[in-house]
């Protein structure tokens, strides 16, 4: 077998094994469930394309264009978090150590992982394409089912976007600073930036298809051309996917028969594919062949990674005379349980590994959220003060499974009453302390209702983190949902989602009480989840 064929075989088997391992896990069913749900929202009209005063006829081309746009917008975000665990899985299952000892090239490994990521996303795209066909038969016009215009947009737009998502997820996993929670947060803002870029492009009418990952600009410009052909002078003055609400009243209906594929359009998609391949090559450059398997991502981790060499020296010096110490000579263990000691230990565990500058920024945000004159400004600063410790909260309830200490910890007395409550209190203490500037200012100003709403926010955050950590066994779910909630609620002043009452008016609504009730439910869920873990 030639070298190239042999490498292709390695890539194929890497991708195949990884793909099979993924699809045979229960979590893949949840993933598919998400795609089915997304398709359902599209089919039932709960997600629709808001074109302002005009509406396109539901022909096969429009259904294909709309559903592929839904796919690219949502799966470039959710898909990233879904597939960003392929290298981590090899590390956790310790298969990585075996792979690292093989003659496989780093590029082969990354190519295999990219293909597997891409394949998983393609399965989800296929589900949404099937939903698109279903949507056509439910709501489509009578012009006949034309599979090519319906499905071609999936192939031309969705697949390159999925390749990009698959590759950037892999890249994030191979770059030390991005593989952890920080990377999860960073990607949310990158994705948001990509969407904003698309929106700016549409409204300034100046974008280039090469900057259009989701295909939104191309779809808009093609539909705008169809609209003006029927209604000269008319404009598609809105182009957005709406999740809630009803479409605007329309003053005209137009027919869009799909894209006229041209070289620029095709090349723009090839461009995104090239970016994906480039990211895969870049991943291979960063991939460390599981060298830092035991601990990653912090100063301590780098010390730890450097330690084994020193350790070997220590081990070789173990054969030396040393003082004889028997069990009878050991200090007697005295029982005297103090909850404070457990709490201090949990706080220390939570804060371990943070650098000095982390505390400086946290303190700065805390002080600023109390010191700024404007109430709106203080609200925004509270939002930042309560996003900064997010990675501390995201390890609550999952640390035991991540670090495989559950057997030791759960065999200690009263694991629920002692350890779980101490974890929660540690998270609550972090929330109180980091938000204290804002809280003190409310207290000084006599804003009792605001103080109450702020306190509910401080209760909600660690409880939310603990419940998701216990039930998901990982940090990712909390990080994704928390950032999403934070971005939409406190940052965009959507009162329903403003769990910390950062906006001045939120405290006066009934939503803080809703979050108090939700906190109670989440607390029960966390206890139930931990009980379940104790009783496996």
Partner 1 sequence: MQLEIQGVSKQYSRSTWGLRDFTLGVQPGVLGLLGPNGAGKSTLMRIIATVTRPTEGQVKWNGEDILRAPDSLRAVLGYLPQDFGVYPHLNAVEFLEYLAALKGLDSVSARRRIDDLLTLVNLSDVRKRPLGGYSGGMKQRIGIAQALLNDPRVLIADEPTAGLDPEERVRFRNLLSELAGDRVVILSTHIVSDVEAVATDIAIVASGRLIAHTAPESLLRSIQGKTWEWIIPSAELPATRQRFVVTSIARRADGVQVRVIADSQPTQDAVAAVPTLEDAYLACLHAHRAGAAA
Query: Which lies closer to partner 1 via its Cβ, residue 288 or residue 447?
Result: 288
Q: Which residues, 6 or more positions from 326, have their beta carbon under 8 angstroms from its beta carbon?
A: none
Strands 54-56, 48-50: pairing is: unpaired
Number of residues that bind partner 1 (CB under 8 A): 61
In whole angstroms, the minimum distance from the beta carbon of 337 to partner 1 comes to 3
In 3D space, the residue among 12, 186, 184, 162 whose CA is nearest the CA of residue 84 turns out to be 184
Site for partner 1 in 389-448 (CB under 8 A): 399, 403-415, 418-419
Is residue 235 a contact point for partner 1 (CB under 8 A)?
no
**Contact mark string toward partner 1, 296..335, x via CB under 8 A:** --x-xx-xxxxxx-xxx-xx--xx--xx-xxxxxxxxxxx
* Continuous segment of H or E residues that includes residue 356: helix 356-371
Of residues 2 and 318, the one with the C-beta less far from partner 1: 318
Q: Which region among 109-117, 265-273, 295-303, 513-521 touches partner 1 (by CB under 8 A)?
A: 295-303
Question: By C-beta, is 105 or 414 nearer to partner 1?
Answer: 414
> In angstroms, what is the minimal distance from the CB of 398 to partner 1?
13
Nearest residue (CB) to partner 1, 89 versus 146 = 89
Min dist CB 421 to partner 1, Å, is 12
40 sits in which H/E element: helix 26-43
The reply on whether position 177 binds partner 1 by CB under 8 A is no
The correct pick among 44, 143, 294, 496 for binding partner 1 (CB under 8 A) is 294
Minimal distance in Å, beta carbon 349 to partner 1?
6
Tell the smallest beta-carbon distance from residue 377 to partner 1 (Å): 36
250 alpha-carbon distance from chain centroid: 36
Rounded CA-CA distance 132/154 in Å is: 10
Closer to partner 1 by Cβ: residue 3 or 357 = 357
C-alpha span between 183 and 291 (Å, rounded): 20
Give the per-residue contact string, 236-275, with partner 1 (x = CB under 8 A; - = no).
----------------------------------------
Q: How far is the CB of 317 from partner 1 (least distance, A)?
A: 8
333: DSSP letter:
P
Q: How far apart are CA 127 and CA 281, in angstroms?
A: 29
Q: Which of residues 71-100 bind partner 1 (CB under 8 A)?
A: none
Handedness of CA 51, 57, 63, 65 (dihedral sign): negative
Q: How far is the CB of 187 from partner 1 (least distance, A)?
A: 24
Residues 346/337, Cβ–Cβ less than 8 Å: no
State which residue, 235 or 300, has the beta carbon closest to partner 1: 300
For partner 1, give the closer residue by CB, 244 or 327.
327
Two structure tokens written together for 372: 């700024």
Q: Which is nearer to partner 1, 310 or 513 (CB)?
A: 310
Task: Compute the distance between CA of residue 180 and CA of residue 387 in angstroms, rounded to an integer.
Answer: 15
Distances from the Cα of 362 to the Cα of 357, 385, 498, angstroms: 8, 6, 21
Q: Are 154 and 132 in contact (CB under 8 A)?
A: yes
**SS3 category, 138:** helix
Residue window 333-362: x/- pattern of binding to partner 1, with contact defined by CB under 8 A: xxxxxx--xx-xx--xx--xx---------
Minimum gap (Å) between residue 91 Cβ and partner 1? 12
Is there a contact between 49 and 254 (Cβ–Cβ < 8 Å)?
A: no
Residue 473 sits in the site that holds partner 1 (CB under 8 A): no
Alpha carbon dihedral 215, 218, 222, 223, in 10-degree steps, equals 50
Beta carbons within 8 Å of 514's beta carbon, 6+ residues apart? none
Cα gap 327→320, rounded to integer Å:
20
**Least distance CB 361 / partner 1 (angstroms):** 20
Residue placing its CB nearer to partner 1 in the complex, 301 or 488: 301
> Smallest distance from the beta carbon of 99 to partner 1, in angstroms?
19
Token pair in block for residue 234? 């008319």
Closer residue to partner 1, CB minimum distance, 298 or 452: 298
CA 106-109-115 angle, to 5 degrees, is 140
Q: Shortest distance, CB of residue 291 to partner 1, whole angstroms?
A: 13
- Which tokens in the block code for residue 295? 């601990």
DSSP state for residue 18 in the 8-state scheme? H
Q: Which is nearer to partner 1, 103 or 335 (CB)?
A: 335
Q: Give the residues lining the site for partner 1 (CB under 8 A).
A: 294-295, 298, 300-301, 303-308, 310-312, 314-315, 318-319, 322-323, 325-338, 341-342, 344-345, 348-349, 352-353, 399, 403-415, 418-419, 534-536
């Amino acid at each position: 077998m030639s070298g190239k064929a042999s490498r292709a075989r390695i890539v194929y088997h890497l991708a195949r094994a990884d793909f099979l391992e993924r699809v045979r896990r229960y979590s893949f069913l949840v993933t598919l469930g998400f795609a089915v749900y997304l398709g359902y929202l599209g089919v039932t009209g709960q997600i629709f394309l808001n074109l302002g005063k005009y509406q396109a006829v539901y022909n096969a081309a429009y259904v294909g264009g709309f559903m592929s746009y839904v796919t690219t917008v949502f799966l470039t975000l959710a898909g990233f978090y879904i597939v960003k665990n392929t290298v981590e899985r090899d590390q956790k299952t310790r298969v990585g150590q075996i792979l690292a000892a093989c003659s496989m090239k780093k590029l082969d490994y990354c190519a295999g992982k990219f293909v597997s990521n891409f394949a998983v996303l393609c399965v989800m795209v296929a589900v949404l394409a099937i939903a698109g066909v279903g949507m056509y038969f439910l709501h489509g016009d009578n012009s006949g089912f034309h599979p090519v215009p319906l499905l071609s947009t999936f192939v031309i737009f969705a697949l390159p976007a999925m390749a990009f998502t698959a590759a950037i997820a892999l890249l994030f996993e191979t770059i030390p600073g991005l593989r952890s929670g920080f990377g999860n947060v960073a990607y949310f803002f990158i994705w948001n930036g990509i969407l904003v870029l698309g929106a700016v492009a549409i409204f300034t009418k100046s974008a280039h298809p090469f900057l259009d990952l989701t295909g939104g600009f191309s779809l808009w410009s093609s539909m705008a051309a169809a609209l003006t052909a029927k209604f000269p002078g008319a404009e598609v003055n809105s182009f957005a996917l709406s999740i809630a609400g009803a479409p605007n009243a329309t003053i005209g209906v137009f027919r869009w028969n799909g894209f006229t594929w041209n070289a620029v359009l095709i090349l723009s998609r090839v461009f995104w594919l090239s970016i994906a391949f480039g990211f895969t090559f870049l991943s291979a450059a960063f991939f460390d062949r599981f060298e830092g398997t035991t601990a990653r991502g912090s100063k301590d981790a780098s010390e730890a990674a450097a330690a084994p060499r020193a350790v070997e020296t220590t081990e070789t010096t173990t054969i030396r005379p040393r003082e004889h110490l028997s069990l009878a000579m050991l200090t007697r263990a005295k029982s005297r349980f103090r909850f404070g000691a457990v709490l201090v230990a949990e706080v220390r565990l939570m804060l371990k590994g943070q650098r000095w500058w982390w505390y400086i920024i946290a303190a700065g945000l805390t002080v600023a959220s109390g010191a700024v004159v404007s109430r709106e400004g203080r609200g925004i600063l509270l939002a930042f003060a309560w996003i900064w410790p997010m990675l501390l909260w995201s390890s609550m309830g999952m640390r035991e499974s991540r670090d495989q200490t559950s057997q030791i910890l759960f065999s200690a007395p009263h694991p629920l009453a002692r350890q779980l409550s101490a974890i929660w209190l540690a998270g609550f203490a972090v929330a109180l302390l980091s938000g204290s500037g804002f809280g003190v200012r409310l207290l000084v100003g006599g804003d009792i209702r605001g103080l109450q709403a702020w306190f509910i926010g401080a209760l909600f955050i660690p409880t939310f983190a603990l419940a998701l950590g216990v039930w998901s066994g990982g940090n990712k779910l909390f990080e994704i949902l928390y950032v999403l909630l934070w971005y939409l609620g406190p940052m965009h002043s959507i009162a329903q989602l403003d769990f910390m009452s950062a906006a001045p008016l939120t405290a006066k609504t009934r939503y803080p009480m809703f979050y108090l009730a939700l906190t109670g439910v989440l607390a029960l869920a966390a206890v139930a989840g931990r009980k379940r873990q104790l009783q496996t």
